[in-house]
Chains A and B, each alone.
Chain A
């Protein structure tokens, strides 16, 4: 080895950062990432890419391919194929991430190991949890996961989304599509309402006398004025939203009879999309980093408030003002990756900056968006400033907003998977 400035500096940094690691008898720091979505895939890729081999990164993700939840409504609307929104982990593996297709079933925080369902044990120096969401049991009386074929949630993209689309396509003439919307906080705040727009788009063309009913436990929802304007314009008379004030939160379902009870009114439905209340993916609970339904994190670096060696990203985290979205998770993952590299190999840690935008499609080429930038404070990730589409915008602006969302989609999936 030739002695030069670079190798001396690199050696010095390793000596400063690595003694605890070296004492355990291996050369490289080890990061385990659980969950290969917008948070986990991005974090794994950035740590592997920017540490130049200095950190061994293992990504644990049960699915062989990943269908993005974002843009899955556009598949329901017929604007995308399932193939368009499905991605392989091959490029991540080729970029040096050790991709393990298995379920993480245990975390030993004292020994710093993760146990997999297949029996393997993975040691870690830093653990990143990005498990997304699970459903709160019993939140919609009459529904549990065994009823998800009769009344799909379609809130984890893939077979559930395909099933829901098939059910919409098979609706009888003049049939009823019902949605049970979730209480706050939940993944993708405008998602249920974009979904209704996409279902209405399909029904208007194929089954124009069909009706859509939304039972909602909330008094208002994300981009409400924009959706209501769009629904009145594109799908007049088709969509009926029952909010908290009129008993939208007092619902129960009977998946065998295909009925929905809204505040005492029994409705026969042909399709019932039940989106239950949500909580952090189960591994966060198993790791003991949750309080209530979510995992509190420090706003400066997404580290868990319960354990400095664990980070929680995306939907599972409780961080403050950011909505639970793929964009948020991707933004949080880059802050986390920077902090993890700084902690393990002494690279420069930059101040955290976060951003989010949620686009929604109301009808063909009628796109709207809401977004904001965020900064860490002592208590939380706090909103700095934001923007939202306005009612009455021109068709040109709405089309440009939709085109912007398509550009974002190819950008974020490239950023997650290295394609």
Chain B
């Protein structure tokens, strides 16, 4: 079970139609690989965020498979071209079934 999970997103509040904007996302997560031992020598169970799905008004922007090699607190930065106002939604899928979400609207003029 992941503890202390926090999501963070950054994208502009406004943009011009056709602009390419930069989106940054991060989730605070230990991303335990399942291959490490704790200080008593017992294997630490795998616990990772295995999927990041970003949509814009329901349409997929990026859909990422994450593997155990991804480091702690996965950070993604990507660009998107915006043609109209709408809402970017983000969903991080945890091994334990939890889905962490965040959303931010952008106003396009």
* Chain A residues with a Cβ under 8 A of chain B: 225, 228-229, 232, 236-238, 240, 242, 245-247, 263, 392-395
Which size class do B's interface residues fall under? 10 to 19
Report chain B residues within 8 Å CB of A238: 4
Within 8 A of A (CB), among B43-79: 71-73, 75, 77
Known: A228-B73, A394-B39. A245 touches B24 (CB 8 A): yes
Closest 6 CB pairs of A and B: A237-B4, A236-B3, A236-B4, A395-B39, A245-B24, A246-B10
Cβ A237 vs Cβ B3 within 8 A: yes
B6 in complex: contacting residue of A240, A245, A263, A394, CB < 8 Å: A240
Interface string of B66-95 (1 = CB under 8 A from A): 000001110101000000000000000000
Q: Which residue of A lies closest to B24 (CB)?
A: A245
Q: CB of B8 within 8 A of chain A?
A: yes
Q: In whole Å, how far is B1's beta carbon from the nearest beta carbon of chain A?
A: 10
Number of A-B contacts (CB under 8 A): 34
Q: Which residues of B sit under 8 angstroms from A247, Cβ to Cβ?
A: 10
Are A246 and B4 in contact, CB atoms less than 8 angstroms apart?
Answer: no
Interface residues of B in 1-50 (CB under 8 A from A): 3-4, 6, 8, 10, 24, 26, 28, 30, 36-37, 39
Chain A residues with CB under 8 Å of B30's CB are 232
> Which residues of the partner chain A approach B3 to less than 8 Å between Cβ atoms?
232, 236-237
Write the nearest CB–CB distance from B105 to chain A, whole angstroms. 15
**Chain B contacts for A228, CB-based, 8 A:** 72-73
Give chain A residues whose Cβ lies under 8 Å from the Cβ of B8. 242, 246
Interface centre among A242, A245, A247, A392 (most CB of B within 10 A): A245
Q: Tell me the nearest residue of chain A to B37, going by C-beta.
A: A392
Q: Is the CB of B4 within 8 A of A232?
A: yes
CB distance B24 to A225 under 8 Å?
no
Rounded to whole angstroms, the CA-CA distance of A240 and B71 in the bound complex is 17
A123 to B3, CA, bound (A): 63
Between B6, B28, B37, B77, the greatest number of chain A beta carbons within 10 A of the residue's beta carbon is seen for B28
B36 surroundings in chain A (CB, below 8 A): 392
Least CB distance from B67 to A in Å reads 19
Question: A247 CA to B10 CA in the complex, in Å?
Answer: 8
A238 to B72, CA, bound (A): 16
Q: Which residues of A contact B71 (CB under 8 A)?
A: 225
- Evaluate contact between A245 and B39: CB separation under 8 angstroms: no
A393 (CB) vs chain B CBs: closest residue: B39
Smallest distance from the beta carbon of A250 to chain B beta carbons, Å? 11
Task: Please determine whether A245 and B72 come into contact, CB atoms closer than 8 angstroms.
Answer: no
A-chain residues with CB within 8 Å of residue B24 when the two chains form the complex: 245-246
How far, in Å, is B2 (CB) from chain A's closest CB? 9
